[in-house]
Amino acid sequence: MKKIFALCVLAGLAQGALAADIVGNAKAGQAKIELCIGCHGIPGYKATFPEVFQVPMIGGQSAKYIENALKAYQKGERKNPSMRGIAGSLSDQDMADVAAFYAQQKQK
């Protein structure tokens, strides 16, 4: 039983270490933004679902901020059905790559 517990602890530590090792790749992120540019790539764009709101321009935003926002949408901590669906389809690597791409962009 102690061996099983030790293996579970080690597996958990290894998984945490792998998650910490994820580094965003802006070039890879460029190929993953198809769902983003329809709203976030249009200056002054307003979305109407679930209510009318100004869509933020995310170019030039901090990669960590974008990554954290995507994770919060994925978990349902941020409330927007469209963003939750999009974030839910992304892996941690996808989120890091998209965040790295947008962090390199200039705010328009």
Boundaries of every domain in the chain: 23-104
- Six token digits for residue 100: 């790295």
What's the mean pLDDT when you consider all of the chain?
A: 86
Query: Looking at the domain 23-104, which fold is it?
Result: Cytochrome Bc1 Complex; Chain D, domain 2 (1.10.760)
- Six token digits for residue 85: 């669906």
**pLDDT score for 94:** 98
pTM comes to: 0.76
**pLDDT score for 19:** 57
**pLDDT score for 3:** 59
Average pLDDT for 6-32: 72
Instruction: Please state whether the peptide bond connecting residue 50 to the residue before it is cis, i.e. omega within 30 degrees of 0.
Output: yes
Lowest mean pLDDT of 5-19, 40-54, 59-73, name the range: 5-19
**Hey, how many other C-beta atoms are within 10 angstroms of the C-beta on 18?**
10
**How far are the Cα atoms of 4, 5, 108 from residue 59, in angstroms, in the given order?**
47, 45, 7
What letter would DSSP give residue 61?
S
- 81-90 tens-digit pLDDT: 999 999 999 9
